[in-house]
Amino acid sequence: MSVGLGLRADGRRLLIPYVMAGVVPDWLDLVRGVVEAGADAVEIGLPFSDPMLDGPTVQRASALSAGRGGRPGPLLDELAGLDLDVPLVVMTYANVAMTLAPERGVGGFVDHLAAVGVRGVIVPDLPLEESAEYRARAAEAGVDAVLLVAPACGDDRCREIARASSGFVYCMSSMQITGERADLAQTARETARRVKGMTELPVVTGFGISTVQHAVEACADADGIVIASVLMRMLVDGAPVAQVVEEVATFRRALSSVQHSPVGG
């Protein structure tokens, strides 16, 4: 079952928490916990020293993971023991994707994902024009290649990205790196609304979804949201896993009250 089909199963607004692999010793308990709290998928970040889109909080989480000896390959292998009812979607950068299995390149990377049960992947710094082999190899491995749409993209570009994406389309809320914000960017809803008219895939908004109110507001147009920095900030500041899980449950309760509109509508 693909990421997209799994996410669309019951039509509710989608909640995708982000977890940096290895950020705390019991990070796998966090993954299990957010699923029990109502996550529809979990985005798994891999530590990387030179991120393009990660803001200070996610960078701190990455540094914590690396400081504990976290490395992309072994961290991915830890996922193999999980038995979850929702898809895992790995987010990483092209440098990691191309070098995780140097002798096999991108094919080795997506095969590794599939072998440990990952069903989707996001590589935000790989341009659409250079992604054909990656997308083809991911499809062969049964892993959805989720692509990002930015608010600055024109309609033609949005259509190209939506057509090439699989699983869901990830909309950036603004032309900024990840991080907590005081307000939801106006471009968040505008971008989701535009893209929903171009695809039947779920349209998910992320980047700067910092409060329950942001989530509810974004889901007036988007089919779901990703929450990342707010959760990672709690962890890097020392909050226990149980407290982060409860934060995810709070988002789930709020999104459950948002009236559904048809995917792609």
Active site residues: 43, 54
Helices first, then strands: H and E counts in the chain? 12, 8
- Tell me which residue of 100, 22, 16, 17 sits closest to 61, measured CA to CA: 22
Q: Tokens 């109502």 label which residue?
A: 38
CB 56 within 8 A of CB 232: no
Give the length of the chain: 265
Beta strands in the chain (DSSP E): 14-20, 42-45, 88-91, 120-122, 144-149, 169-172, 203-206, 224-227
CA–CA dist 244, 135 (Å, integer): 33
CA–CA dist 140, 65 (Å, integer): 31
CB 50 within 8 A of CB 75: no
For residue 10, what are the contacts with CB-CB under 8 A and spacing of at least 6?
A: none
